[in-house]
Amino acid sequence: AQSVTQLDSQVPVFEEAPVELRCNYSSSVSVYLFWYVQYPNQGLQLLLKYLSGSTLVKGINGFEAEFNKSQTSFHLRKPSVHISDTAEYFCAVSDLTGGFKTIFGAGTRLFVKA
Amino acid sequence: DADVTQTPRNRITKTGKRIMLECSQTKGHDRMYWYRQDPGLGLRLIYYSFDVKDINKGEISDGYSVSRQAQAKFSLSLESAIPNQTALYFCATSDRGADTEAFFGQGTRLTVV
């Protein structure tokens, strides 16, 4: 069965500092990986996704993530954060066994301080 | 207008009451989902539907039921609400395939007292 672990529940960081939000997954088959962002009082929206090919994936708002198959990780990074990046971030995995089964992690709350 | 619309946005109800949360979408997607979000638990899948005639239980379907009235409409019912169903509920849609992104509504905050 699939599972997703987001290693940090909260990440405080100062504005313009780099940030990494960690995500590990487990699955017995090949997977697709996603990062979603949830701003206050809103639904989730897609930041980026890894389907195949290059392991470094670039998304919206300057975020990028790297797929590491050997470590079963898909960490999200941004070299310089802004106050407006304050939000909750969810890692998700979807498998290829047919049908749909997307599993979400518990979320990481990023808090950017001035 | 939003692509995925949930009504109501907020609701307070009493224990034992029946309540329905509604979702409609203009994306033209076949697939629709209901999730609940609880602090520290992320999103958990309640029910999902691949098309109008296809309904599937998710990981936490007990105490919930759904109805897919049309391609664009998917409602979630709590037959007899209980306090531990207090949560933020999201409807989502997606195109076919495991590689496609989900599009979420803005959520319904339900409080059961």
Q: What is the pLDDT of residue A100?
A: 64
pLDDT at A61 over 90: yes
User: CB count, 10 Å around CB of B106?
Assistant: 16
Residues A66-92 have pLDDT tens digits of 999 899 999 999 999 999 999 999 999
pLDDT digits (tens), chain B, 113 positions? 679 999 999 999 999 999 999 999 999 999 999 999 998 888 999 999 999 999 999 989 999 999 999 999 999 999 999 999 999 999 999 988 767 889 999 999 999 99
Test mutation, B7, B51, B100, B103, chain A, max A CBs within 10 A? B100
* Cβ atoms of B65 and B79 closer than 8 Å: yes
Amino acid type, B71: Q
Position A28 scores a pLDDT of 73
- And the tokens for B73? 């409409």
Q: Does the beta-carbon distance from B42 to A34 stay under 8 Å? A: no
Beta bridge partners of A57: A65
pLDDT at residue number A96: 67
pLDDT at A22: 97
Inter-chain touch B45–A32, beta carbons under 8 Å: no
**Does the pLDDT at position A35 exceed 90?**
yes
With b meaning 16 or more CB within 10 Å and e meaning fewer, what string describes A51-64?
eeeeeebebeeebb
Q: Which residues of B touch A107 (CB under 8 A)?
A: 40, 42
Q: How far is CA A77 from the centre of its chain?
A: 9
What pLDDT sits at residue A99? 57
Mutation site for A-interface testing, chosen from B6, B37, B43 by largest number of A Cβ within 10 Å: B43
Query: What pLDDT shows up at residue A29?
Result: 76
- What lies within 8 Å, CB to CB, of A77 at 6+ separation is A18, A19, A20, A21, A63, A64, A65, A66
Say if B108 is an interface residue toward chain A (CB within 8 Å). Answer: no
* Cα separation values, A52 from A55, A66, B48, Å: 7, 12, 26
At B72 the pLDDT is 96
**What's the whole-number mean pLDDT along residues A24-52?**
89
